[in-house]
Amino acid sequence: MGTLPELFGSLVFDDRIMRASLPADVYASLRKTIDEGTRLDISVANAVASAMKDWAVAHGATHFTHWFQPLTGITAEKHDGFITPSPDGGVIMEFSGKELIKGEPDASSFPSGGLRATFEARGYTAWDPTSYAFIKGKTLCIPTAFCSYGGHALDKKTPLLRSMEVLSKQALRILRLFGNDTAKRVVSSVGPEQEYFLITREMYDQRPDLKYTGRTLFGAKPPKGQELDDHYFGVIKPGVAAFMADLNEELWKLGIMAKTEHNEVAPAQHELAPIYTTTNVATDHNQLTMEIMQRVAARHGLVCLLHEKPFAGVNGSGKHNNWSIATDSGQNLLSPGDTPYENAQFLLFLCAVIKAVDDYQDLLRLSVATAGNDHRLGANEAPPAVISMFLGDELNAVLEAIETDTPYEGTKKTVMKLGVDVLPRFSRDTTDRNRTSPFAFTGNKFEFRMVGSSNSIACANIMLNSAVAESLRIYADRLEAADDFEAALHDMIKKTISDHKRIIFNGNGYDDAWIEEATKNRGLSNYRTTADCMPHLLDEKNVTMLTSLGVFTMDELISRRDIMLENYCRSIVIEANTMVSMARTLIAPAIEAYAGDVAGKAAAKKAAVPELKCSYETTLVSTLSTLLDEIAAAAADLDTALLSLHDASDVVEESAMIRDTLLPAMGRLRVPCDEAEQLTAKSFWPFPTYGDLLFGVK
């Protein structure tokens, strides 16, 4: 291993490599495509492909793949060799611009939500030049978008790129009104903090629920969990430290700016945080991070669990999405700035976000909706399912002064009129953070804390970019038509604050009183489950916004509603079937064997000493027998609930049945099983307990 600067990005065909290996005119043309979105000429593509192939082969690559992100939530790749037959019977290494720009994977077996029939196989991948190619193993991976033969987006990258483009377009309109004629693009950036659990491979292999579903479906609470708060930021165990060191090296080679690592709140839980970067690149990097975490864990005899709630009773795992927007010159548009006029621009962009979050709180909620995340949201380690925003005391005071045209009790006691000298300056980070807020302002960015640990961050950022772009579009339309820019600006910010202040909440998001206030008094939505929120994707206001901006077509929206609900239904059905199997083939036989052993030993005691009552053994056997009966009955009820799903007319009805019938039946089966675990001798219990799993890594 060389020095870190030498190691970082060593497996990435990044700007340093392109500048050194491409002719000056080719490099300039490619940079123009990357920076300004201009079309790429085929001659430039051929030159890039040749240089890319030479670089990859020099690093040991033998194959290339169009690396894409279908609607499965994970990545996909089909490998093709660089080799081409030569006339003398040998082979030559070739890679053309056409192969770089376009691929043709089979599209029939990926989720399409009805956009493709099973017999319609053709699909296309298209190179995304804004995300650098990289080497994984012996394969050159080219980040691409994925679409159907008819042009429908079948992936998460395409709508993400569309949302970034429309956000840039509308933000530039606003900047022009403030006199900025130099910015060419506005880019959203993200830094996704990734939480995860590590357990030993040996124990994982003994748990069918972990292998099939990613989470434990059974498990009694251990004597010690996270009650002492001693794991958070605690000393990292040697085995975990070795994993983290190996992980960092692998990520750094791929240009992923892994920076922060620490123990999280729950035993066996940890976090990795990168430096933030452009949203589509951050999305690619996060997908790679999750894949590499699991691969590196395997090398260390560990398993990395990315499920949002792998263990009941301890904190689940999220992925905090730190989002901001900036110009191509690096001006952060969510930074208050140093002058009053910059403050006015900042306040307008801030209000655009406030309006977006309030108007499209349902889209933000459903963008993070999965069967796994439903277990986490609303628990004490995650924000509630109610969307709200935290701004802090100072920004709240500024907004209140604007709304009421009253003196701001800050640096100046003056009535605020935006865009003139009496607008006071104000600093950032003058207030505490709110860890319970789903959407918190943290100085020059927003932290969207609802994203689940296994989720692609693409979905949340598509909706966030689009909703903010819509706010900016409305603002730009009004301000461009205004006779008096200053007055129109002031009135629009004032009206936004008045119309949308219901979404702002700086208190304790875990307080039951807040949930009641939010839903009853403020009219905020509270979609507790995926089945509750996902159908709202097709609400008229959401369809109108997303289609008018060109982020999705109507067909793409319908397909995503159906795919997300199908994933929800299939995930929980797999869990239910796993529960029935484990209860009948592992748990019940173990309880029966232990009860028989206890009964046999009690009988032997009484045979030796007839006057013994053996009350303990008798009571224990009776209790275990009762629990066996309860397990059998609950398993039968769960079978019935599973069969009833066949009566659903569509995926929306099926998801509602799962929420209302199947999940409660699963909960009823778990109760006697977990109770029996606490009564059964450890030598008889068929798989590792929570105590084993959470404290097994040394």
Angle at 225 between CA 219 and CA 227, to 5 degrees: 140
Model confidence pLDDT, tens digit, residues 495-538: 999 999 999 998 888 888 999 999 999 999 999 999 999 999 99
* Neighbouring C-beta atoms of residue 368, cutoff 10 Å: 29
Integer angstrom CA distances of residue 66 from 106, 127, 133, 147, 468: 12, 8, 10, 13, 31
502 with 636, same domain: the answer is: no
Residue 340 has pLDDT above 60, yes or no: no
Domain end point (choices 154, 188, 204): 154
| 664-676 residues labelled b (16+ CB within 10 A) or e (exposed) | ebbebbbebbbbb
422 with 304, same domain: the answer is: yes
Helix crossing, 393-404 with 340-359: angle to 10°?
A: 90
In terms of C-beta density within 10 A (0-12 exposed, 13-18 middle, 19 or more buried), how is residue 398 classed? buried
- Note whether residue 546 is domain-resident: no
Phi and psi dihedrals of 12, rounded to 5? -120, 135
Question: Which SS3 state, helix, strand or coil, does residue 305 take?
Answer: strand
CATH number at residue 43: 3.10.20.70
282 with 302, same domain: the answer is: yes
- Note whether residue 636 is domain-resident: yes
Phi and psi dihedrals of 567, rounded to 5? -60, -40
pLDDT at 220: 96
133 with 195, same domain: the answer is: no
Model confidence pLDDT, tens digit, residues 54-99: 999 999 999 999 999 988 888 999 898 887 765 655 545 678 888 8
Percent of the chain at pLDDT > 90 equals 73
Measure the CA–CA gap between 73 and 68, rounded to whole angstroms: 11
In terms of C-beta density within 10 A (0-12 exposed, 13-18 middle, 19 or more buried), how is residue 380 classed? exposed
pLDDT at 14: 95
- Note whether residue 538 is domain-resident: no
Integer angstrom CA distances of residue 267 from 24, 108, 309, 460: 54, 42, 13, 28
- Note whether residue 544 is domain-resident: no
Model confidence pLDDT, tens digit, residues 441-460: 988 899 999 999 999 999 99
Decide: 600 and 617 in contact? Cβ < 8 Å: no
**Which residue range forms the structural domain that includes residue 15?**
4-154
- Note whether residue 500 is domain-resident: yes
- The total number of structural domains in the chain stands at 3
Measure the CA–CA gap between 686 and 118, rounded to whole angstroms: 41
214 with 234, same domain: the answer is: yes
182 with 310, same domain: the answer is: yes
Of 143-152, 293-302, 307-316, 519-528, the least confident? 143-152
20: which 2 tokens?
């050194």
Decide: 139 and 63 in contact? Cβ < 8 Å: yes
Helical (H) or strand (E) element with 27: helix 24-36
Question: For residue 93, how many C-alpha atoms fall within 13 Å in the half-sphere facing its CB?
Answer: 15
Residues 6+ apart with CB under 8 A from 219: 311, 312, 674, 677, 689, 690, 693
292 with 173, same domain: the answer is: yes
Question: For residue 51, how many C-alpha atoms fall within 13 Å in the half-sphere facing its CB?
Answer: 23
Measure the CA–CA gap between 87 and 92, rounded to whole angstroms: 10
When pLDDT is averaged across residues 400-428 and rounded to a whole number, the result is 60
Q: Which of 402, 391, 412 is nearest to 344 (CA)?
A: 402
- Note whether residue 545 is domain-resident: no
604: which 2 tokens?
């032997």
Model confidence pLDDT, tens digit, residues 236-271: 999 999 999 999 999 999 999 999 999 999 999 999
Decide: 476 and 468 in contact? Cβ < 8 Å: no
Angle at 345 between CA 340 and CA 349, to 5 degrees: 140
296 with 349, same domain: the answer is: yes
Residue 379 has pLDDT above 90, yes or no: no
pLDDT at 670: 98
Model confidence pLDDT, tens digit, residues 657-678: 999 999 999 999 999 999 999 9
- Note whether residue 561 is domain-resident: no
Please tell me the pTM assigned to this model: 0.92
Domain end point (choices 154, 181, 208): 154
Looking at the DSSP bridge assignments, the partners of residue 305 are 197
Of 79-88, 399-408, 517-526, 567-576, the least confident? 79-88
Look up tokens 């032997």; give the residue.
604
Decide: 129 and 30 in contact? Cβ < 8 Å: yes
